[in-house]
Amino acid sequence: MKKVWTRIAGSALLPFLSFLLAFIISGFFIAFSDATVLKNIGHPGKFITSALSTVGNAYLALFQGSIFDPNLTAGHGFMRGFYPLSETIVTATPLILTGLAVALAFQSGLFNIGAQGQFIFGAIGASYVGFHFTFTPVLHVILAIVAGVLCAAIYGGIVGLLKARTGAHEVIVTIMLNYIAGFFILWILKTTAFLRPRRIDPIAPEVNPSAQLPHLAGENFRLHAGILIALVAAYFVWWVLNRTTVGFQFRAVGANASAAKTAGISVSKVTIWTMSLCGALAGLGGAVHVLGSQYALTADIGGSFGFDAITVALLGRAKPFGTVLAALLFGALRTGGRTMQSNTTTPLDIVLVIQALIVLFIASPTLVRFIFKVKNLKTNAAMTAKGWNG
């Protein structure tokens, strides 16, 4: 058991140190972008105290906006203080699923930039079945999810098929397919099948209540069953990778495609399967996002879930449970960032700086090793490079 823990600690060290460094450096950005702090630049004492209080307030707001806010408890009871945590999880849920879509691809040596497009197709499929039909509640949710997952699995499968048959590079193909998905949703929302009656802006009808995911913590919280689906999906991905024949082939191709080929594993089949499964995961994210928190399909339903997924998967070291943790962290940063922006003078953009710095440090383990003087930092640089070599 002890061995397991040291292994986990070992592989979490680089993300943790990167995280720490990103927050320290972002502190400087926060301090130096603040007007009051800059005004005091001539008085060292005042300057330091005002800088510290600005940074402290910003990070406190970030915490209050993402985990627990005591101000919300007044008159509503203690539990209401966790409203931000519920929001964090709601934001993180689709991110977990898109993150898994990228992580799984990494494990088979593919670089899936296309989670964004796959997510959009998942949302379209789920939304359509959600508002167009009426079934009994549980069945309706399942059918809507299946529709979304299928649309996205096909969309992802196209990438696998093109790569396997023609050698087209998955990075290029997925980027292009992201554009297509982005314009496709704009177009489809203007068709009579999707446009909400008596509306001219691109928005689809809300999904029927029977297709909505149930809330988990009462009507006061937006927390919905999507997080359970995402956690099950993460476990499923782990199980497929480590306990099934296909997963064995995925990992074999990811670790050394030519040895896998020599041993009789079909690299083309693995590529098609991987990309379909990745599409399915990202599509599940889109479906859950629509059925759990958005209800109505809009042109910007995708947000940046598919792109942040790449960062999330990298931060999670392409491991299913690492990806879950990374997605929760990103969810927290995003929801907390909004509170930080409204309660303090620090802009939301600082969250982007933090995210960018985390990625920067994860991608440069030598630098982190140098700063913290750690010797045996486990790195996974091959993972980032593989997508381009394949």
Partner 1 sequence: MSLELNAITKSFGALVANDGISLAVNDGEIHAILGENGAGKSTLMNIVYGLLQPDSGEIKVDGKVVTIHEPSDALAVGIGMVHQHFMLIPVFTVLENIVLGHESTSRVGKLKLSEARERLLKIASDFGFEIDPDALVENLPVGVQQRVEILKALVYEAKVLILDEPTAVLTPQETDELIEVMKRLRAQGTSIIFISHKLREVKAVADRITVIRRGKVVATAEPTATQEELAALMVGRPVNLMPDKNAPKIGDPILVVKNLEILDPSGRTLVSDVNFEVCAGEVLAIAGVQGNGQSELAEAMVNLQSHVRGSISLSGVEIVGKSVHESLHEGIAFVPESRELDGLIGSFSIAENLILDTHREAPYTRGFVLSPAAVAARGAEQAKEFDIRFQSIQDPVSSLSGGNKQKVVVARELSRPVKLLVASQPTRGLDVGSIEFVHERILAERDAGRAVLLFSTELDEVVALADRIAVMYAGKILAIVDSTVSREELGLLMAGVKK
Q: Which residues bind partner 1 (CB under 8 A)?
A: 242-249, 251-252, 255-256, 258-266
Closest CA to 339 of 29, 94, 81, 98: 81
> Could you tell me the smallest distance in angstroms from the CB atom of residue 221 to partner 1?
38
- As a whole number of angstroms, the distance between CA 31 and CA 231 comes to 38
Enter the tokens of residue 342.
């409204």
Whichever of 47 and 236 has its CB closer to partner 1, that residue is 236
Whichever of 255 and 296 has its CB closer to partner 1, that residue is 255
> Could you tell me the smallest distance in angstroms from the CB atom of residue 253 to partner 1?
9
- As a whole number of angstroms, the distance between CA 278 and CA 200 comes to 34
Whichever of 71 and 262 has its CB closer to partner 1, that residue is 262
In order, the DSSP letters of 271-314 are HHHHHHHHHHHHHHHHHHHIIIII-EEETTTTTTHHHHHHHHHH
**Taking a C-beta distance cutoff of 8 angstroms, is the pair 147, 126 a contact?**
yes
> Could you tell me the smallest distance in angstroms from the CB atom of residue 261 to partner 1?
6
- As a whole number of angstroms, the distance between CA 201 and CA 299 comes to 10
Closest CA to 333 of 122, 8, 84: 84
Whichever of 183 and 235 has its CB closer to partner 1, that residue is 235
> Could you tell me the smallest distance in angstroms from the CB atom of residue 142 to partner 1?
23
How open is the CA angle 178-131-213, to the nearest 5 degrees?
A: 85
Whichever of 198 and 375 has its CB closer to partner 1, that residue is 375
> Could you tell me the smallest distance in angstroms from the CB atom of residue 386 to partner 1?
12
Placement of tokens 């879950």 in the chain: 324
Whichever of 103 and 309 has its CB closer to partner 1, that residue is 103
CA atoms within 13 A on the CB side of 352: 6
> Could you tell me the smallest distance in angstroms from the CB atom of residue 381 to partner 1?
13
Query: Which DSSP category does 214 fall into?
Result: P
> Could you tell me the smallest distance in angstroms from the CB atom of residue 203 to partner 1?
42
Whichever of 142 and 232 has its CB closer to partner 1, that residue is 232
**Taking a C-beta distance cutoff of 8 angstroms, is the pair 387, 170 a contact?**
yes
